[in-house]
Amino acid sequence: MSFRFFECLSARFSIVIVTLLGVSCQRYWVCDEVDASRTAQLPTRLSETGLYANIATGELASGVFAYTPQFQLWSDGAEKQRWILLPDDRPIDTSDMDEWLFPQGTKVWKQFSVAGVRVETRLLEKRGPGAADWLSLAYVWSPDAQDALEAPLGAIDSHHTDHDVPAAGECLACHAGRRSFILGFSAIQLAASAAADELDLDTLVQRGQLSNPPASPPVVPGNSVEVAALGYLHANCSHCHNQTRPEQSGARCFDPNSDDDFTLKVSQLDDVLSTPTYRTVVGHAVKRGDPSDSKLYKLVNSRGLFRQMPPLATEKVDSAAVANLRVWIEGL
């Protein structure tokens, strides 16, 4: 009997207890499946989605632009590239600067590479005018990297890496937690100046692609540690832990239903104390000056079912973020 046996047994018993409790209460980790007929509306090959003019050379299609959010979701160290296609004739509805509503026809791609191996490219496409009219699908690259094929069921340890490709339904677990649906393309996330060939907030304003352009790019308050902490929590936690989550008709799915709010809001950036994170989390899930007694720190710094945050799509601790959170909490 190995140590692993006892370790796993302990973890598994916790699952048993939680699941038995789940018989009489909502189990937030259980999501509805995506209607297969919706996923089937998307192309079966990445080369047919409109990302590339020439997939063999990597030449992007006309109108497709790269972008990089200033605060990124931790994906176990995978390298990520992102692109967006916005319709020319309709701007993004930015009347709510924190919840951009994208026009029909918007497509967003995110590509994951692990140790230099291109593993998957995810697509979100808005097929209708409604805020929830998004389709989602991941495409797994063929071993010869000539194209990527749809993977509606996802994939475990794809390309002999530790990287798991989400099932189509799992995209909604995070993305459906915000009205904007797109999580990394917002005023806050694009406020930093981008590389010359990438989109940022200024470029979008200049191109007239925002219905209500901001007077100036929002600036996250605080010193470098505070900015990094607030940014990390915004990018990794706020898609679930926010107070403006869209109503759901089905079962709760990764809806924490708590008062915690990790969102960075454009209108609440006067100082760190006015951010939702300081107002709702510090003193509650974060004990001032004591990381080891802070629930948030312990969850971010551990992995295991029901014992980790974020709960999805990560099996490794983000050690750099944890180190920064530690310094941040010690300084509170």
Partner 1 sequence: MNGRIALAAAALIFAARTAFAEPAIDPGLTSGGGQIEAQAHFGVATTPFDVAPLPEAKGQAFAFLVGGRYALSAPLSFELRVPLVLGSVAQPAGSYVDASALGNPQIGARYRFIQRRSGEAALGLFGAVELGIPLASHADDLMPNRVLAIADGIEGRAHPEWFTPGVLPITPSGALRWASAPWSLETELRLPLLVRVSEANLPSMTTNTKTLGFAAIASGEARYRLSQRLSLAAGAHLFFDIAPSVAHVRDVSRVQDFERLSLHIHFGSRAALVIDLQTAIAGELGGSMVAGGLRGVVNL
- Interface residue list for partner 1 (CB under 8 A): 1-2, 4-5, 7-9, 12-13, 15-16, 19-20, 27, 29-33, 36, 140, 151-158, 164-167, 169-170, 173, 253-254, 305, 311-313
Least CB distance from residue 312 to partner 1, whole Å? 5
- What is the maximal distance between C-alpha atoms in the chain? 65
Phi, psi of 108 (to 5 degrees): -130, 135
Least CB distance from residue 41 to partner 1, whole Å? 16
Least CB distance from residue 324 to partner 1, whole Å? 24
Cβ atoms of 206 and 231 closer than 8 Å: no
Contacts of 35 (CB under 8 A, 6+ apart): none
- Put the strands of the sheet holding 198-199 in their side by side order: 148-150, 134-141, 117-126, 107-114, 79-85, 64-67, 198-199
Q: Which is nearer to partner 1, 72 or 203 (CB)?
A: 72
* Count of other CB atoms within 10 angstroms of residue 206: 11
Q: Which is nearer to partner 1, 29 or 65 (CB)?
A: 29
Q: Which is nearer to partner 1, 27 or 279 (CB)?
A: 27
Q: Which is nearer to partner 1, 47 or 75 (CB)?
A: 75
Of 222, 298, 291, 234, residue with least CA distance to 263: 234
SS3 state at 76: coil
Q: Which is nearer to partner 1, 7 or 259 (CB)?
A: 7
* Count of other CB atoms within 10 angstroms of residue 179: 16
Cβ atoms of 325 and 225 closer than 8 Å: no
Q: Which is nearer to partner 1, 271 or 315 (CB)?
A: 315
Least CB distance from residue 251 to partner 1, whole Å? 9
Q: Which is nearer to partner 1, 119 or 227 (CB)?
A: 119
Least CB distance from residue 187 to partner 1, whole Å? 27
Q: Which is nearer to partner 1, 8 or 53 (CB)?
A: 8
Which contiguous run of DSSP H or E holds residue 323? helix 319-330
Of 282, 242, 246, residue with least CA distance to 261: 242
Return the structure tokens found at 201. 């907030």
Least CB distance from residue 169 to partner 1, whole Å? 7
Secondary structure letter of residue 104 according to DSSP: T
Least CB distance from residue 314 to partner 1, whole Å? 8
Cβ atoms of 301 and 316 closer than 8 Å: no
**Distance between CA 87 and CA 63 in Å, rounded?**
8
